Amino acid sequence: MLKLAIIGAGIMGERLARAARDQASDQIEVVGLWDLAVAASERLAEALPGLPVAPSVEAAMASADCVYIASPPASHLGYAEAALAAGKSVFCEKPLAVDLQAARAFVATHATARAGVNFPFASSFAVERLVSWMPAIGEVQSLTIDVAFQNWPRPWQQDAASWLDRPIQGGFTREVVSHFLFLTRRLIGPLSLVESLAQFPDDGRSEFDIRCKLMAGHVAVNLTGNVGNTPKDDHNTWTLRGTNGAIRLRDWSIAELQEADGRWHPDPDALPNERMRPLVLRRQLEQVVAMTQGLPHRLATLQEALDVQEIVEAILQSGS
C-alpha cells in the first residue's frame, strides 16, 4: 500500500481523496490531509469520514511515501521541495509554479526526482482510442483546439475564485488550455508559439479571450479560448486532421472519428466526463504507485509540465 499525503483540501484534493478511497483503496492509503485553511480540511474530513487531518504540513508528510500537492499554484514548489528533501515522491497539480524562473530552476535541479504532474490525459481512455485511430487518418496536417466557458471560474470553482479569477495564478489558459497543450506535446511534437493575443478585462481579472497559432513539431496548431460565447459551463474540442480523415476529443472524454459522410461518430465505449473522471484518476493513481516505486510510468514529467508552462505564460504575456 502506498501511503499518500494530500496538501490542499479544495476541489482537486477532494477528487483525488475520493478516488483513492473509492477507486484505488487496494493500492493507496491516505495517511494525512492538510490545508492552510483549517475549515477546508474539516469540511473534507466531514465529507469523507475517516480521512486523517494533520495538524501541520510536516505532520501530513511525515508518514507518507508520496505527497500530492493540490494547493494554489504559488505554493507548489515550496511544498514539492520540502517533500523531495524529506525523501518522498511528489505528485503535483499544474502549473509547477507562477514564476517561470523558479520552475526552470526546480526542474533543472530535480530532473531525476521521483516526481510527476497531474495531467489526466496521460491516463485517458479516450486518448488511448484516439491514438489507436491516428494511423487511419494518414499524414497529420493540422490541429485545432477550442475551449469555451459560459463563465469563469466555472460554477463548481467559485470557492476558489479569489485566485482562479486573478491574472497572477488563475485563468482558463493555466487551468484548462494547459491540459490540451500537454496532450498536443505528447502526441504530436514539441511546442513553439508563433503568435498570440490574450485579452483581459480592466478590473484585474483573468483573461476572457485568447487567439493563438503554434507549431507542434511540423504541425500547425490553431488555438482559441473564450468566456461567454457558449451556453455550456465547459465545452472543448481537440481536432486532428490528416490526409485521410480526422479525429477529435470532445468535452474531455469523448473520442470521435469523422467518417466519409462528414459526421462525427463517437467511440461506443465513451462515457461523459463526470462518469469517466474517477476511472481515469484510478489509472493516474496506479501510475503514482509505479513512479514512487521507481518503475516506468505514464505521468507527465517535470520537463513536460515546464514545456507546457512556458507556452502558457507566453500566451498570457501577449496580453500585457
- Say whether pLDDT at 257 is over 70: yes
Q: Are residues 80 and 191 in the same domain?
A: no
Give me the number of domains the chain comprises.
2
User: Residue 47's domain is classified under what CATH number?
Assistant: 3.40.50.720
Q: Are residues 59 and 201 in the same domain?
A: no
pLDDT of residue 297: 98
- Domain range enclosing 218: 122-270+306-317
pLDDT of residue 261: 86
Q: Are residues 167 and 203 in the same domain?
A: yes
pLDDT of residue 159: 84
pLDDT tens digits for range 30-63: 999 999 999 999 999 999 999 999 999 999 999 9
pLDDT tens digits for range 123-165: 999 999 999 999 999 999 999 999 999 999 999 998 888 899 9
* Residue 279 pLDDT level (bands cut at 50, 70, 90): very high
Q: Is residue 104 part of a domain?
A: yes
Q: Are residues 240 and 179 in the same domain?
A: yes
Q: Is residue 275 part of a domain?
A: no
Q: Is residue 57 part of a domain?
A: yes
Q: Are residues 164 and 201 in the same domain?
A: yes
CA–CA gap between residue 294 and residue 154 (Å, rounded): 37
Q: Are residues 112 and 133 in the same domain?
A: no
* Residue 26 pLDDT level (bands cut at 50, 70, 90): very high
Q: Are residues 154 and 61 in the same domain?
A: no
Q: Is the CB of residue 151 less than 8 Å from the CB of residue 55?
A: no
Mean pLDDT of 227-232: 91
Q: Is residue 71 part of a domain?
A: yes
* Residue 320 pLDDT level (bands cut at 50, 70, 90): low
User: Residue 152's domain is classified under what CATH number?
Assistant: 3.30.360.10
pLDDT of residue 160: 87
Q: Are residues 109 and 129 in the same domain?
A: no
DSSP code per residue over 70-129: -S-GGGHHHHHHHHHHTT-EEEEPSPS-S-HHHHHHHHHHTTTSSEEE--GGGG-HHHHH
Q: Are residues 14 and 115 in the same domain?
A: yes
